[in-house]
Amino acid sequence: MTSRNKCLILGLTVFLWVGVHAQSYIDTCRLLRKFNLTGYVEAENHSMIIGGLFPIHTRTIPINNSDTELEFESAMCEGFNFRGFRWMKTMIHTIKEINERKDILPNHTLGYQIFDTCFSVSKAMETAMTLLTGQEEKKPNYRNSTGKYLVGIIGSGGSSLSVTAARIFGLYYMPQVGYTSSSAILSDKFQFPSFYRSIPSDKIQIEAMVTLIIHFGWVWVGAIASEDDYGKYGVKSFREKMETANLCVAFSETIPKVYSNERMQKAVKAIKSSSAKVIVLYTSDIDLSPFVLEVIHHNITHRTWIASEAWITSALIAKPEYFPYFGGTIGFAIPRSVIPGLKEFLYDVHPSKDPNDVLTIEFWQTAFNCTWPNNSVPYNVDHRVNMTGKEDRLYDMSDQLCTGEEKLEDLKNTYLDTSQLRITNNVRQAVYLMAHALDHLSNCDLLEEQRNNTACSHIPDFEPKELLPYFKKLKITTHDGAEIELNGNGDVDSGYYDILNWHMGDAGEITFVKVGEYIFNSTKYELVLPKNSSLFWNTESSRLPDSVCTKLCAPGTRKGIRPGQPLCCFACIPCADGYVSEKPGQRECDPCGEDDWSNAEKSKCVPKLVEFLAYEEALGFTLVILSIFGALVVLAVTAVYVVHRHTPLVKANDRELSFLIQMSLGITVLSSMLFIGKPCNWSCMARQITLALGFCLCLSSILGKTISLFFAYRISISKTRLISMHPIFRKLIVLICVLAEICVCAVYLVLEPPKMFKNIEIQNVKIIFECSEGSIEFLCSIFGFDVLLALLCFLTTFVARQLPDNYYEGKCITFGILVFFIVWISFVPAYLSTKGKFKVAVEIFAILASSYGLLGCVFLPKCFIILLRPKRNTDETVGGRVPTVDRSIQLTSASVSSELNSTTVSTVLDE
């Protein structure tokens, strides 16, 4: 037998064995255990069934896993939830209302099968499987345990429960409409192809929260989230949005689903140690409840809590005894509504109507704190671990028996509170969305773009996935006139949130005061918060709290980065000189303009101080006095010379040149006043040109005198008869020098004249008004010519300094020129080492010093003789004979006489 035949025989044997045993397994297949589920069913005489999932209890009872026999045991539930019970009743009331209407599904009626999810993921999965497969032995039908046609699901409470159920329902494309599941992850049609909802996505709520935070100026905010899909995805989106807005999350902690003292203490420690005074609580009311007790236990006050829509109006949290800790809470709530007939329907509940209605019995026992006779429903059971780490096991029945005469009107609990029908109204809207989709299916009312791709279906012969196209772009109008429209992701993309603030009412209960709205649609988000809103802040000052890591940098400083710290934790660095920050919290300092400078606080740009040598200040006034005094001295000397113009001493050595020297010295002394005051273009040009021409006239006139002395000295040493220099030649020297200086000055003024400019480089805080000298080459040429004249004067007088005379004019001129050189040589380093107005003062001082030096050395000795020693002002004294010691020649600095062959030749004395 070949190997191939062996393989064929073996394969047939295995196939026959599997077939025989498979049939045996089918015949003996049965459910080992059933899920412990509670709820309501009404399926008889109805065309279709809508499933409902609601958290009528808040938790499951932990199972002892050490017992192997209970390995597959379904957990029981505890902690009756009045709010969830009201939601469930609202679904029943809405279905009854739809069945009575003739405009929606006129030929069909709706039934329901509702299960309790116990606010746990495990129960949500159990209820989802039960709705799809039922619990009948040997009869898996993927329809409904009632035998009726299941067309959709309403629920299943919180986002984490809906995520769990939607993953199962999505496998069969079973339509599911959530009423309080707002997690953004549920918008993903790839993961949840059959999920829709009547509540806006958390994407919008996160946007609203961050907008509110920005509005109040908070930048350092803490975040606490429940440990489920609702909290995790919500805080993740919140952090991302805060980062986008350049805001910071101070800390992010989670509240465990199963109580953990260690993790609770970690969250509490984060709140107490953080400087964040504003904290976002992104959790459901049921998950938040144990955390609230921890906050109270640790006496955490003066915090502002931002609430999500899941707990902002929850009576489980909004208790008067919690107000000192949670008063002033601000948050977002879906719009409130009044549902016609609901209040009466809620009151129509009593255990006597159905002895098997365990949920109603438990409701009655919990509401009235009594025990219903002859029933096994537990009372006040709590298996949670408390804050001390011990487990509470309260199995005791109440000693007081229920009579059935208890009045619901006397109750004040969440179930009967119809003043805040928000999520309750969402339950109603979710049922209506399902009903309208079914109605459109019965009429084959598809969108235009869907007609070519989708065949018309008929009730009841249709698959659940055939209902999904009718949810796209579904639009309905509610009983109160509001419009609800689903987008392509099954989300409500238009509407508004109410902004609520917790106040303490007059009756001692917490009231939810509406202080604004957050309006949204597909293209616009808008926060409407009137300025006169009556906001209550639970702070020490009862004012808007600050929530910052670092206080806002004051004007004059800027934000500096702290390495390794969040963006909101920064250092306040003072602005540099010339930079300012006028507004608090600026990231960068702004530079001041060219003519401005920062004030001492660096908070404002102020005009720079203007500096120039002004007449009004002491230095300028002193220099003006010296200039005027010098001009008066020159005028006095001139007056003396004019009065005594015919005397020998005045006439000696060219009287006209003496007058020119006096006039030029008057010009130079007065020209110093052009350097004082605010410079302008004309004064900048006039000051240097006037000074240069004044010194040129003065030095050229002195040069005419010194040349005469030079020739006299040559006569004295050569003992020869020389012809005296004619006075016209001295005037020609002056004229030529002055004309040459004028030509150079004219070219200077035409080509590159001096101009006024604002010097801002020397001192940042000042604007120094100065004169820009234009061409330095021309300026050096002008004053270089004056220096050349001074040098020639010095050389000629230095050579003739030894002339014997009763009055040594040559020596006086020599000393005058020496003073001139000393002043201006000292001026150069002093001028270069000073700045601003003192630089101008140094130049004025040099002008006055050199002018006073020339005036004093050249004219004061003669004035002394003219006024005080008139006897020496004679021809004999001025032009006397040669003494007996040396009768070969007699000279004076004022006259040169040669007595050769009894003939005297005057070489110097000219009239």
What is the distance between the alpha carbons of residues 200 and 181, in angstroms, rounded to a whole number? 9
> Cβ–Cβ contacts within 10 Å for residue 387, how many?
13
What is the distance between the alpha carbons of residues 85 and 55, in angstroms, rounded to a whole number? 8
Q: Are residues 568 and 686 in the same domain?
A: no
Query: For residue 586, what pLDDT is reported?
Result: 86
Residue 910 maps to a domain: no
Rg (CA), the chain: 55
Boundaries of domain holding 708: 618-879
Torsion-angle region of residue 138: left (phi > 0), alpha (psi -120 to 50) or beta?
left
What is the distance between the alpha carbons of residues 911 and 645, in angstroms, rounded to a whole number? 10
What is the distance between the alpha carbons of residues 442 and 906, in angstroms, rounded to a whole number? 147
β pairing state of 150-154 and 176-178: parallel
Q: Are residues 178 and 219 in the same domain?
A: no
Query: For residue 243, what pLDDT is reported?
Result: 92
Burial 594-613 (b: 16+ CB within 10 A, else e): eebbbeeebbebeebeebbb
Helices (H) and strands (E) in the chain, counts: 21, 30
Tokens of residue 766, six digits: 């000042």
Residue 320 maps to a domain: yes
Tokens of residue 182, six digits: 């707002």
Residue 153, beta-bridge partner list: 51, 176
> Cβ–Cβ contacts within 10 Å for residue 220, how many?
23
Torsion-angle region of residue 893: left (phi > 0), alpha (psi -120 to 50) or beta?
alpha
The last residue of one of the domains, among 585, 607, 629, is 607
Residues 6+ apart with CB under 8 A from 20: none
What is the distance between the alpha carbons of residues 83 and 89, in angstroms, rounded to a whole number? 10
CB 504 within 8 A of CB 511: yes
Query: Could you write out the three-class secondary structure of 79-96?
Result: EECHHHHHHHHHHHHHHH
Q: Are residues 596 and 681 in the same domain?
A: no
Which amino acid, 564?
Answer: G
Tokens of residue 391, six digits: 């487990």
What is the distance between the alpha carbons of residues 308 and 396, in angstroms, rounded to a whole number? 36
Residues 6+ apart with CB under 8 A from 334: 199, 200, 309, 422, 423, 425, 426, 495, 497, 498
What is the distance between the alpha carbons of residues 36 and 60, in angstroms, rounded to a whole number? 11
Residue 770 maps to a domain: yes
Q: Are residues 290 and 312 in the same domain?
A: yes
Instruction: Phi first, then psi: give them for residue 841, nearest 5 degrees.
Output: -65, -40
Q: Are residues 622 and 601 in the same domain?
A: no
CATH assignment of the domain containing 857: 1.20.1070.10
Query: For residue 72, what pLDDT is reported?
Result: 61
What is the distance between the alpha carbons of residues 504 and 488, in angstroms, rounded to a whole number? 42
Q: Are residues 721 and 628 in the same domain?
A: yes
CB 142 within 8 A of CB 82: no
Tokens of residue 84, six digits: 């969830």
Which amino acid, 798?
Answer: F
What is the distance between the alpha carbons of residues 709 and 799, in angstroms, rounded to a whole number? 9
Express each pLDDT in 269-326 by its tens digit: 999 999 899 999 999 988 999 999 999 999 999 999 999 999 999 888 999 999 999 9
> Cβ–Cβ contacts within 10 Å for residue 546, how many?
16
Q: Are residues 575 and 499 in the same domain?
A: no
What is the distance between the alpha carbons of residues 904 and 901, in angstroms, rounded to a whole number? 8
Instruction: Phi first, then psi: give them for residue 630, nearest 5 degrees.
Output: -65, -40
The last residue of one of the domains, among 511, 528, 545, is 528
Residue 551 maps to a domain: no
CB 481 within 8 A of CB 493: no
Residue 164 maps to a domain: yes
Tokens of residue 102, six digits: 């003739």
CA distances from 425 to 69, 88, 93, 482, 834 (A): 44, 12, 12, 12, 85
Instruction: Phi first, then psi: give them for residue 257, nearest 5 degrees.
Output: -70, -40
CA distances from 193 to 201, 465, 468, 469 (A): 16, 10, 9, 11
Q: Which residues of the chain, if any, have pLDDT below 70?
A: 1-32, 64-72, 135-147, 379-399, 446-455, 653, 709-727, 762, 800-808, 876-911
Residue 404 maps to a domain: no
What is the distance between the alpha carbons of residues 769 and 549, in angstroms, rounded to a whole number? 48
Q: Are residues 471 and 499 in the same domain?
A: no
Q: Which long-range contacts (CB under 8 A, 24 or more apart) does 381-385 make?
A: 381/61, 381/78, 381/79, 382/78, 382/79, 383/61, 383/62, 383/78, 384/59, 384/259, 384/290, 385/259, 385/261
**Measured distance between the N- and C-terminal CA atoms of the chain, rounded to whole angstroms:** 165
Q: Which one-letter DSSP state was computed for residue 385? A: B
Residue 385 maps to a domain: no
Number of domains in the chain: 4
> Cβ–Cβ contacts within 10 Å for residue 185, how many?
21
CB 446 within 8 A of CB 440: yes
The residue to which tokens 């502002």 are assigned = 304
For 545, the 3-state DSSP assignment is coil
Q: Are residues 824 and 715 in the same domain?
A: yes
Express each pLDDT in 362-387 by its tens digit: 999 988 888 888 877 776 556 555 44
Query: For residue 178, what pLDDT is reported?
Result: 95
Query: Could you write out the three-class secondary structure of 427-466?
Result: HHHHHHHHHHHHHHHHCCCCCHHHCCCCCCCCCCCCCHHH
Is it true that the peptide bond before 198 is cis, omega within 30 degrees of 0? no
Residue 896 maps to a domain: no
**Rounded (10°) angle between helices 285-297 and 261-273:** 70
CB 383 within 8 A of CB 392: yes
Q: Are residues 99 and 183 in the same domain?
A: yes
Which amino acid, 731?
Answer: K
Q: Average pLDDT of the chain?
A: 81
What is the distance between the alpha carbons of residues 719 and 890, in angstroms, rounded to a whole number? 10
CATH assignment of the domain containing 167: 3.40.50.2300
The last residue of one of the domains, among 607, 640, 670, is 607
Residue in 756, 598, 736, 757 with CA at minimum distance from that of residue 680: 756
Query: For residue 161, what pLDDT is reported?
Result: 92
DSSP string, 98-160: HHH-SSSSTT--EEEEEEE-TT-HHHHHHHHHHHHH-S-TT---SS-TTSSPEEEEE--SSHH
Query: For residue 212, what pLDDT is reported?
Result: 95
Q: Are residues 195 and 206 in the same domain?
A: no
Query: For residue 65, what pLDDT is reported?
Result: 56
Query: For residue 35, what pLDDT is reported?
Result: 84
Q: Are residues 835 and 851 in the same domain?
A: yes
